[in-house]
Chains A and B, each alone.
Chain A
Amino acid sequence: MGIAAYGARHAQAFLGSLGRLARSPFATVLTVFVIGLALALPLGLKLLVTNVTAATGGFGSAVNVSVYFKQGVPLDRVRLLARNARARAGVAAVTVISAADALADFQKHSGFGAALQALADNPLPNALSVQPTAEGRSPEAIGALERYFQAWPEVDIVQVDSAWVERLAAILAVLERVLAVTAALLAAGVLAMIGNTVRLEIQNRRAEIEVVKLVGGSDAFVRRPFLYTGVLYGLAGALLAWGVALGAVAVVAGPVATLSRLYGSGFTLTGPTPHDLLWLLGGGIVLGWLGAWISAARHLHRIEPRA
């Protein structure tokens, strides 16, 4: 068979499958709807993980050591100690936060501005905000840094702000695992759904399959339209999932932006990327093809012509 004839046969099988799906729109839409939702769920979880990660600005850079000095330690002394701290290995940046700056910031964001103004003295101490280097973010390095600051007689409290980051990292790790398991389960569900749809299609077209086999249709020829049916279901389901994700992001983006603004962050919700779309389409096509192939291989060989 020439390439042109081969291509023409494939085009014929593809258009035939498309036509059959179009002739039963209700059943087709229902099936595509279920496949689309099944594919949209893992995509939604993936977007959730991506956005939570982006919103927290990455775990590593969020590790921070706060050093609070005793009341009465002068700011010049604090600045001197900060210079010493900067020279230490494993320290990326040290920011001096004077008691006056801390109070101004607190008045601005806490909502207790008027009450704080009534205080005779500033109750807040001078402080340092220390950011470790990438190498200095291990629990051991952070522990050593904590002990280093605690050894200074001028220091009152050393607070390592890593517990919440660790918790968040753990939550995101759980979410990622849930995403993987959900994706695998839903992929299996899509596979089963397409396989079952193709099985019903094979049953409905039993007489036709018998005739095609009788006139010498090979297994590949008989199987071809069913494989295209599966691919079309997968493709349409993937496109629907993409649309659902875009729609969901559009609906949620506004409130998220407002919330983010209230917390003084410029974070905006990220929707599915073109890369996600490619993965979705590829996954839909592969699942559709595989589901149809398994079903066709299982059921077609049972149909033989009768005289």
Chain B
Amino acid sequence: MILFDHVTKRYPNGREALSSLSFRIGTGEMVFITGRSGAGKSTVLKLIALIERPTRGTVLVGGKNLGALPARQVAAHRRSIGVVFQDHRLLADRPVFDNVALPLMVSGSPLKETDKRVRAALDQVGLLGKERMLPIELSVGEQQRVGIARAVVSKPSVLICDEPTGNLDPDLAVEVMRLLKRFQDVGVTVVVATHDVHVVHEFGQRTLVLEEGRLKSGAEEEPLPSIVASR
């Protein structure tokens, strides 16, 4: 479960990205976070991934209070979540296999197990057979799927995606979202920050709408599709 309890985030330049934001995302739920640029979508993801810490309030992920998590435990927390970016963030000089294997390498997974899980992840995203190719040799959609494979290869309990369909045409965007939905179907909590209204409507998941760092709509109390109903 992810819980934001009156979370305020103020950056060193004085800009307040989130103002007393509160919401809850259930385990295994898929939630969209939408809003205009600067509404605070990315900041929410940064707080979940512990790239930033809240200025005030509490962020709980899997029962851990991230604001109070010691620095030495940050890496372990990040290993428990998967992150997908709009720009993929792939290592250009490494083949697909090495890119996907990265989270397993950092966690010290045995080589045999790494090999098995990377192939399984590539199979899930439909890229098995392309493990020796460099990212630049793949299409944009395929690169995004490599990014997704990397995010899920270590079987995280939470998957956060920052504009995962931002660079894709509508068909590819739907394809990528279906892929993410499949992970939710097997119990992964999926949080997608997007301003792609088409995708949001197409998938009909609960949507948190942010405006100037505050929740405009989408809190749990609102009549949104329940976790069970959305499956």
A interface residues (Cβ-Cβ under 8 A, vs B): 1-2, 4-6, 8-9, 12, 207-208, 210-219, 221, 304-307
Q: Can you list 18 residue pairs at the A/B interface with Cβ under 8 Å?
A: A2-B110, A5-B109, A8-B111, A9-B105, A210-B89, A211-B91, A213-B75, A213-B78, A214-B78, A215-B78, A216-B76, A217-B75, A218-B106, A305-B49, A305-B51, A306-B51, A307-B49, A307-B51
Q: Would you call B106 and A221 a contact (CB within 8 A)?
A: yes
Q: A304 CA to B50 CA in the complex, in Å? A: 10
For A217, the closest partner residue in chain B by CB is B106
For B89, the closest partner residue in chain A by CB is A211
A to B contact number (C-beta, < 8 Å): 68
> Known contacts A9-B105, A307-B162: does B83 contact A214 (CB below 8 Å)?
yes
B interface residues (Cβ-Cβ under 8 A, vs A): 42, 45-46, 49, 51, 75-80, 83, 85, 89-91, 102-103, 105-111, 150, 154, 162
Chain B residues with Cβ under 8 A from A4's Cβ? 110
Closest Cβ–Cβ distance, residue B141 to chain A (whole Å): 20
For A2, the closest partner residue in chain B by CB is B110
**Sample of 19 more A-B contacts, CB < 8 Å, known A213-B75, A216-B79, A307-B162:** A4-B110, A8-B111, A208-B91, A211-B102, A214-B78, A214-B83, A214-B89, A215-B83, A215-B103, A215-B150, A216-B77, A216-B103, A218-B75, A221-B105, A305-B49, A306-B51, A307-B45, A307-B83, A307-B85
Chain A residues with Cβ under 8 A from B89's Cβ? 207, 210-211, 214
Q: A8 CA to B85 CA in the complex, in Å? A: 29
Closest Cβ–Cβ distance, residue B170 to chain A (whole Å): 24
A-B pairs with lowest CB-CB distance, top 8: A216-B79, A1-B108, A216-B78, A217-B106, A215-B103, A218-B75, A307-B46, A5-B110
Chain B residues with Cβ under 8 A from A305's Cβ? 49, 51
Most chain A Cβ neighbours within 10 Å, of B42, B75, B80, B150: B75
Q: Would you call A215 and B106 a contact (CB within 8 A)?
A: yes
Q: A219 CA to B71 CA in the complex, in Å? A: 11
For B41, the closest partner residue in chain A by CB is A307
Q: A307 CA to B106 CA in the complex, in Å? A: 20
Q: Specify the main secondary structure of chain A where it touches its partner.
A: helix
For A216, the closest partner residue in chain B by CB is B79
Q: Would you call A216 and B106 a contact (CB within 8 A)?
A: yes
Chain B residues with Cβ under 8 A from A306's Cβ? 51
Closest Cβ–Cβ distance, residue B152 to chain A (whole Å): 11
Chain B residues with Cβ under 8 A from A216's Cβ? 75-80, 103, 106-107
- Taking a contact as CB atoms closer than 8 A, the residue among A2, A8, A212 that contacts B102 in the complex is A212
Chain B residues with Cβ under 8 A from A207's Cβ? 89, 91
Q: A31 CA to B178 CA in the complex, in Å? A: 51
Q: Would you call A9 and B108 a contact (CB within 8 A)?
A: yes
Most chain B Cβ neighbours within 10 Å, of A4, A213, A215: A215
Q: A8 CA to B108 CA in the complex, in Å? A: 9
Chain A residues with Cβ under 8 A from B110's Cβ? 2, 4-5, 8
Q: Would you call A5 and B78 a contact (CB within 8 A)?
A: no
Chain B residues with Cβ under 8 A from A8's Cβ? 110-111
Chain B residues with Cβ under 8 A from A6's Cβ? 108
For B111, the closest partner residue in chain A by CB is A8
- Taking a contact as CB atoms closer than 8 A, the residue among B75, B91, B108, B162 that contacts A5 in the complex is B108
Closest Cβ–Cβ distance, residue A226 to chain B (whole Å): 15
Q: A211 CA to B42 CA in the complex, in Å? A: 17
Closest Cβ–Cβ distance, residue B165 to chain A (whole Å): 16
For B88, the closest partner residue in chain A by CB is A211
Q: A25 CA to B51 CA in the complex, in Å? A: 36
Chain A residues with Cβ under 8 A from B107's Cβ? 216
Q: A188 CA to B124 CA in the complex, in Å? A: 53
- Taking a contact as CB atoms closer than 8 A, the residue among A1, A5, A211, A214 that contacts B49 in the complex is A214
Chain B residues with Cβ under 8 A from A217's Cβ? 75, 102, 106
Q: A2 CA to B106 CA in the complex, in Å? A: 13
Q: A9 CA to B45 CA in the complex, in Å? A: 30
Q: Would you call A215 and B162 a contact (CB within 8 A)?
A: no
Chain B residues with Cβ under 8 A from A1's Cβ? 108
For B151, the closest partner residue in chain A by CB is A215
For B193, the closest partner residue in chain A by CB is A307
Chain B residues with Cβ under 8 A from A212's Cβ? 102, 106
Q: A5 CA to B108 CA in the complex, in Å? A: 6
For A13, the closest partner residue in chain B by CB is B105
Q: Would you call A215 and B85 a contact (CB within 8 A)?
A: no
Chain B residues with Cβ under 8 A from A210's Cβ? 89
Q: Would you call B102 and A215 a contact (CB within 8 A)?
A: yes
Q: A307 CA to B17 CA in the complex, in Å? A: 14
